[in-house]
Copies of this chain bind each other. A is one copy, B any other.
Amino acid sequence: MNPKLTGRRTFLQGVAGAAATLPFVSRPVTAAPADLTISEAIALILKDIPKAPSRDTVDTVKSGDPTRKLTGIVTTFMATYDVIRKAGDLGANLVITHEPTFYNHRDETDWLRSDAVYQAKRRLLDEKGIVVWRFHDYWHAARPDGIMTGVLKKLGWEPTGKERIFTIPAMSLRDLALSLKQKFGSPSVRFVGNPNQSCRTVGLSPGAYGGGPQITLLSREPIDVLVCGEIAEWETSEYVRDAVAAGKAKGLIVVGHVPSEEPGMEWLAEWLKPKLPGVKITHVPAQSPFNYV
């Protein structure tokens, strides 16, 4: 918890708490957040993030005018063209996205200036008057990590003492992959390893955690399987393939980047509601873009 609370935040929390105990009383607090600008809402959100605001982050405003009054918030894994359209339909003018808007980590756009897809997305953002703000580094920096919290709510796994390590009822690698496919709502899940290998101790790294960290988790921790969002196909999958060939009982399950982190942005909507009472906050899932044959 960040100890540097402002008067505004303390005020909002106090009123929200009072309103929660008086559900039948008309809530004058709704007037206060309705007066918030988007920038003020962002500042308010960052009060609960350790060491925020930071200069060294990709979590910047990607479009629109944040000095305008906030009309509503959409949280999403990815501010896709469709998610932006839906935000407009919902009357929201702040889309909080986990991943980039313009197809590269730093949202650099010089190389896209004459690109028709980029131009169409910019036009849509302008038409709808939508501010896209990225909430990647900050949400991972929350304690506990906001993405991980949302994912654990979805999985129903209890945290153990060790970061990223969980114990589950023993099941085969194939059954665990099937169970994760259903829980994450992923259209297809890939795995490496012996389908019948028993899994009980699980490492969990949603998103694209990186080959080095993924392999280090598999190497240093006594986990049967690593569950992750995305890999580079010359790194973690090849490490696990070699591990199995060398006689070690290790597995890897790759659920897809979007499904693996979307629950964290669904949780963000719930996490925001008590901070911004009276503001309409909706989670709009980006969903996996993939079909499989």
A positions within 8 Å CB-CB of B: 78, 80-82, 85, 99-100, 103-105, 111-112, 115-117, 120-121, 124, 174, 177-178, 181, 188-192, 195, 208, 211-212, 215-216, 219, 229-230, 232-243, 245-248, 250, 254, 256-258, 289-293
In the bound complex, residues from chain B placing their C-beta under 8 Å from that of A211 are: 103-104
Given A81-B245, A254-B290, 17 more pairs with CB closer than 8 A: A103-B239, A104-B211, A117-B239, A117-B242, A120-B242, A121-B242, A124-B246, A181-B293, A190-B290, A192-B290, A192-B291, A229-B233, A230-B233, A233-B256, A233-B257, A233-B258, A238-B289
In the bound complex, residues from chain B placing their C-beta under 8 Å from that of A290 are: 190-192, 237, 254
In the bound complex, residues from chain B placing their C-beta under 8 Å from that of A121 are: 242, 246
17 contacts between A and B (CB under 8 A): A78-B238, A80-B242, A99-B238, A100-B234, A103-B236, A103-B238, A103-B239, A117-B243, A177-B293, A178-B293, A189-B292, A190-B291, A190-B292, A192-B289, A195-B291, A230-B232, A230-B233
- B291, A216: Cβ atoms under 8 Å? no
- A104, B235: Cβ atoms under 8 Å? yes
